[in-house]
Every structure is written in structure tokens, then in C-alpha cells.
Copies of this chain bind each other. A is one copy, B any other.
Amino acid sequence: MQTITVALDAMGGDFGPRVTVPAAVQALSHFPELKVILIGDRDLITSQLSRIGYIPNSRLSIKHSDRTISNTERPSQALRNSNGSSMKLAIDSVADESADACVSGGNTGALMALSRFRLKLLPGIERPALVSALPTANGNKTWMLDLGANVSCDADTLFQFAVMGSALAEQHLARTPKVAILNIGEEDIKGNDLVKRCSELLSETEAVDYVGYVEGDQLLHDSADVVVCDGFVGNVCLKTTEGVAHLFIDKLKSQLGSSGIKAWIARKLFGGLMDELKKLNPDQYNGASLLGLRGIVIKSHGSADVSAVVNAIGEAVHEVKRQVPSRISDRLEAVLLERHY
């Protein structure tokens, strides 16, 4: 069996080792091929390990770091001051090949800047993108990118996002994914110059199965497997989806959760529905990928709990197995060839 080593930034995220350490231990039991390097304050990590009665062994090692990057640090500051930080050491371990992938719940801008600086971009890629899978009404997934790494994009960048997103989704779906552009109407005349130009580029390529525009209200209805947009729109859209989902779930919970006969009946009747609705909240899916790099970097939600961090580690394992960066690279090469001949 191939061994897969994941470097986990143990200090990243709102809860640090209290969440990342038990998540690493759970992930080891989920994925028999996995090894984890926990990077962070050795004392804090050790005390969390002993709290859950786990003894470090050949599958779990600790790499000490006494520095963290705060959430308020700008990417440019992070680039200057990151040496020895848990996030930087996690990325370093991918660069020097002591790990196959890294996972961090820390500052997204810093993670993006450091990854780009240390791992470099794939040929043909101008900017890395943040991609994540949204749950759909029918129990499927839609991959959306960019989710906030690039606040403004040109049509070429959006085109590259489409190629990268398609290559990633294909490794999950095992079929050619349908790719759409997020727009404010389905007709050709709708939208801004960016989406119109990108639509032309996608119509001309054989590298992705482009199906046209999709609107915000169709996002969770399987109208496409991959949806591309600039990082500003993508981030607003993702957070809006999370916000509305939370609101509805909270309203329901307030009925199901209270005590008394009504709540008891409600739980009996709607326990299943509640579970189904919870699955429709995108923030249940953890593990956004930074695509376009010469290496695998997974961003975990800052507020992720133990099972969510296990999911993020799972995404890292999956991408290593399916060699996602080289799949993207192959696809980009095909596009370049197509343009030359």
C-alpha cells in the first residue's frame, strides 16, 4: 500500500490543537495509508495527545514550531515574517517532499501567498484558485471556484479556473464534468464583459464540457458540476448560501430542540428532514483546495470542528491518490497545444 503523508498545521483554525490533534488521530483510523506530521507547539500537541490517550508512533510525528501567523496579518507581512511558523513549515514539508500534501485552517491570504511563493504555480497558470464542493438538492456536489483568493480576475484567469475545476471534479465524479459560468441571466446578452469573454474562450475549447451560464438560484440544483466566477462573487455567493441555510436550520432547530411533547413529536417526525437540511449547508463540507500549485494544499475552515478537519485531511488524501496537480497540468498542456495548432 502506498503511504500518504499529510502535514497538518496544528495551530491553524480557531481552536488549534484542541481540534486538530483529535482530528489527526481520527483520520489515522479512517485512512490506513495515512501518516500525519503535526506541526505546532510540541507541549500543547503532546498534552492533547495524552488527554485522548494516544501515544505517538511511526504514523504520527510532531514537528515543533513556536510561531503562528495571525488572522489579521496581510499576505505581504506573512511572506516576510513567516519563517518558522507552523503554516510555513507545513508548506515547506510539501516543497521538500517530506509530505505529500498539507492542511491548514489558518489565514487564507497568507496560506495562498506562502504556497504560491514556496511551491510555485503550474505552467500556464497565472493565479491559484480556492475551490470547494457545495452540496446540491439531489445529494450531489457542485465545485465552485474561485471562492475568494482572487478578488478581481480577467477572462483568461476565469478560463484557467474552468480547466482546473474540471480536472478536479473529474477525479471525484469519474466522468467528464459539466462546466458553467455564474451569471445574472441565462441568455447570451446578459452579464458583464468578463463573463462574456470567458464564455467565448470556453466555447472554443475541447478541454472542458462547457454548458453556458448558470444563475444564483440554480446553483444547488445540479445544473452544472463546476461553476466558475471571480473570487469576490464566489465568496459572497458561498457565504450567502451558508447564511440562509443557517437561518432556516436555526428556525427549525428552535422548534425541534425545545422540550415538551411538541418537540418530541417534531424530532420523531422531522429528525431525518433536519439531517437532510443540515447536509445542504455548504460549511458542513470542509476542505477547500488551492488549485494551480505544484503541490497539494488544503484550506480547512477556521471554525471547523474535529469531524470537519478529518474531512479536510480526507480531501488531501484523495487528491494525493488521484494526483490532482498532474491531472491539471495535463489538461493545461492540452489547452496550450489546442491553441498552437
- Give A contacts to B, CB under 8 Å: 72, 74, 137, 148, 151-152, 182, 184, 187, 189, 191-193, 215-221, 229, 231-233, 235-248, 251-252, 255, 262, 265-266, 269-270, 273, 276-277, 280
Which of chain B's residues have a CB closer than 8 A to the CB of A239?
184, 215-217
Contact across chains for A245 and B243 when beta carbons are under 8 A apart = no
Chain B residues with Cβ under 8 A from A270's Cβ? 255, 266
B265 touches A191 (CB 8 A): no
C-alpha spacing A299/B219, complex, angstroms: 25
Which 6 pairs, one residue from A and one from B, show the smallest C-beta to C-beta distance? A216-B239, A217-B243, A216-B240, A184-B235, A151-B192, A244-B244
Residues of B within 8 A of A74 (CB): 189
Determine the residue in chain B with the shortest Cβ distance to A151. Answer: B192
Most buried by B among A192, A221, A233, A262: A233
B193 and A216 within 8 A (CB): no
Q: Does B269 lie within 8 Å of A265, measured CB to CB?
A: yes
Please state if B191 and A151 are interface contacts (CB–CB under 8 Å): yes
Contacts of A276 in B (CB 8 A): 251
**Residues from chain B with Cβ under 8 Å of A273 in the complex:** 251-252, 255
Contact A280 B216 (CB under 8 A): no
Chain B residue at smallest Cβ distance from A215:
B239
- Copies of chain A in the complex: 2
- Least CB distance from A173 to B in Å reads 22
Interface of A is mostly: helix
Q: Chain B residues with Cβ under 8 A from A238's Cβ?
A: 216
Q: Known contacts A220-B243, A244-B220, A247-B280: does B235 contact A236 (CB below 8 Å)?
A: no
Q: In whole angstroms, how far apart are the Cα atoms of A252 and B255 in the complex?
A: 13
Do A245 and B242 touch (CB < 8 A)?
no
Query: Given B152, B248, B251, B265, which contacts A192 in the complex, CB threshold below 8 Å?
Result: B152
In the bound complex, CA of A220 to CA of B242 (Å): 11
Cα–Cα distance between A219 and B243 once the two chains are bound (Å)? 8
Residues of B within 8 A of A262 (CB): 269
Q: Which of B151, B231, B241 contacts A244 (CB 8 A)?
A: B241
Cβ of A152: which chain B residues have Cβ within 8 Å of it? 192-193
Provide the residues of chain B in CB contact with A236, threshold 8 Å: 182, 184, 215-216, 229, 233, 236-237
User: How long is the Cα–Cα vector from A255 to B255 in the complex, in angstroms?
Assistant: 15
Q: Smallest Cβ distance from A204 to chain B, in angstroms?
A: 23
Q: Which residue of B lies closest to A246 (CB)?
A: B217
8 Å CB contact of A232 from B192, B218, B220, B246: B192
Question: Smallest CB–CB gap between A79 and chain B, Å?
Answer: 14
- Give the nearest-CB partner of A283 in chain B: B217
Give Cα A238 to B255, complex, Å: 27
Contact B248 A280 (CB under 8 A): yes
Q: Is A231 in contact with B269, judged by CB distance below 8 angstroms?
A: no
> In the assembled complex, how far is the CB of residue A255 from the closest CB belonging to chain B, in whole angstroms?
6
Query: How far, in whole Å, are A238 and B233 apart by their CA atoms in the complex?
Result: 12
A220: chain B residues within 8 A (beta carbon): 243-244, 247
